[in-house]
Amino acid sequence: MNTSPVIEARDLNLTFETNDGPVQALKDVNLTINKGDFVSFIGPSGCGKTTFLRVMAALEHPTAGTITVNGMTPDEARRKRAYGYVFQAAGLYPWRTIARNIKLPLEIMGYSRADQDTRVEEVLKLVDLDGFGGKYPWQLSGGMQQRASIARALAFDADILLMDEPFGALDEIVRDHLNEQLLELWARTEKTIAFVTHSIPEAVYLSTKIVVMSPRPGRITDVIESPLPRDRPLDIRDTQAFLDVAHRVREGLRAGHSYD
C-alpha cells in the first residue's frame, strides 16, 4: 500500500469570534491521513470534528498552523478538484432528476456532454442506483437519496471523499446497509475517506484510523489505528477485536469529558 500523506495538519488552530467572545473550535490539531485511509472523526457535539472537515475542504480557514491536502493548500486542492464533499442531508435539487443532480458538479466544472453522460452511468452503478437516473429525488427513499449524493461527490474523480455525518439522518437498518456498501465502494475505488460520525459502531466498523475528539477546546484526544482487516463483513462487529476497539474509543470519549 502506498502510504504517502494526503492530508497533513500541523498545530492547527481555529478560533471563531462570536458575540459571546472567542470560541476555540480547534486547538493544536496534528494529524496525518495517508492515501487510501478510511479515517473517522468521532466525538460529542462541539468537538470540532465537522470544523476540521470543513478546514480540509477550505470552507473554513485556520487561524494558526498549517494544513495541506495533496501537498497543496485546501484552496488550491479545491480548485484542482481534489475532494468530493458529502453533507448530512442529501441536498439534491428537487427540480433535477437524479442523473441531472449528479451532473451538477460536472456542468459547473465544464465537462463535455458526452463525458457527463458516461460518468453519470458509471457512478450510478457504483452506488447501486442503476436505472434510477431519470427519477426525481422525491421518488427515492432517504437512503437512496444519500447514495445519489455520494455518487454526485464521486462523479468528478476526486480521490478524497469528505463525509460529514452522511448517514446521521437515516435509521439504523438503512445505515448498516449503507455502511457495508460504502466499504465496498471504498475498496473498489481506493479513495481516501474522511468520515465524521456520532456513532461508535459506525466509526469502528468503517475505519482504518479512528480519531477521537473532545470539546472546549476542540482537540484530538486519541488516534486509534484499527487492527481489523480491510475486508469486513457486517458480523465482524460481534468479534472480540471489534469490541476492544470500540471499548478504546469509548474510553477516549470519556477521558475527553472527564474535566468538563
Partner 1 sequence: MTEPVDTTPSRWASGVTGIVFPVLVVLAIITAIWYAVCVPMNIHGAVQSAERAGVVVIPEDAKTRREMGGVALALQNTGEISDVWSQDRPRLPAPHQVAVELWKTTVLKKVTSKRSLIYHGWITLSATLLGFAFGTGLGILLAIGIVHSRVMDMSVMPWAIISQTIPIIALAPMIIVVLYSIGVQGIIPKAVISAYLSFFPVVVGMVKGLRSPDAMQLDLLRTYSASKAQGFWKLRLPASMPYLFTSLKIGIAASLVGAIVGELPTGAVSGLGARLLAGSYYGQTVQIWSALFAAAILAACLVAILGVIERVTLKRMGMA
- Residues binding partner 1 (CB under 8 A): 57, 59, 78-79, 83-85, 87-89, 91, 93-97, 104-105, 107-109, 136, 138
What DSSP character marks residue 229?
A: -
Residues shown for the chain = 260
Compute the least distance from the CB of residue 260 to partner 1, in Å.
Answer: 29
Q: Which is nearer to partner 1, 33 or 212 (CB)?
A: 33
- Give the separation between CA 115 and CA 111, rounded to whole angstroms: 6
Burial 193-230 (b: 16+ CB within 10 A, else e): bbbbbebbbbbbbbbbbbbbbbbbbbbbbbebebebee
Q: Which lies closer to partner 1 via its Cβ, residue 81 or residue 177?
A: 81
Radius of gyration (C-alpha) of the chain in whole angstroms? 18
Q: How far is the CB of 232 from partner 1 (least distance, A)?
A: 29
CB neighbour class for 177 (10 Å; exposed up to 12, middle 13-18, buried from 19) = middle
Shortest separation between residue 83's beta carbon and partner 1, angstroms: 7
Please calculate the CA angle 25-199-141 and round it to the nearest 5 degrees.
110
Sheet holding 64-69, edge to edge: 21-34, 5-18, 64-69
**197 vs 214 by CB, closer to partner 1:** 197
Shortest separation between residue 26's beta carbon and partner 1, angstroms: 18
Q: Which is nearer to partner 1, 68 or 88 (CB)?
A: 88
Q: Which is nearer to partner 1, 87 or 159 (CB)?
A: 87
Q: How far is the CB of 69 from partner 1 (least distance, A)?
A: 12
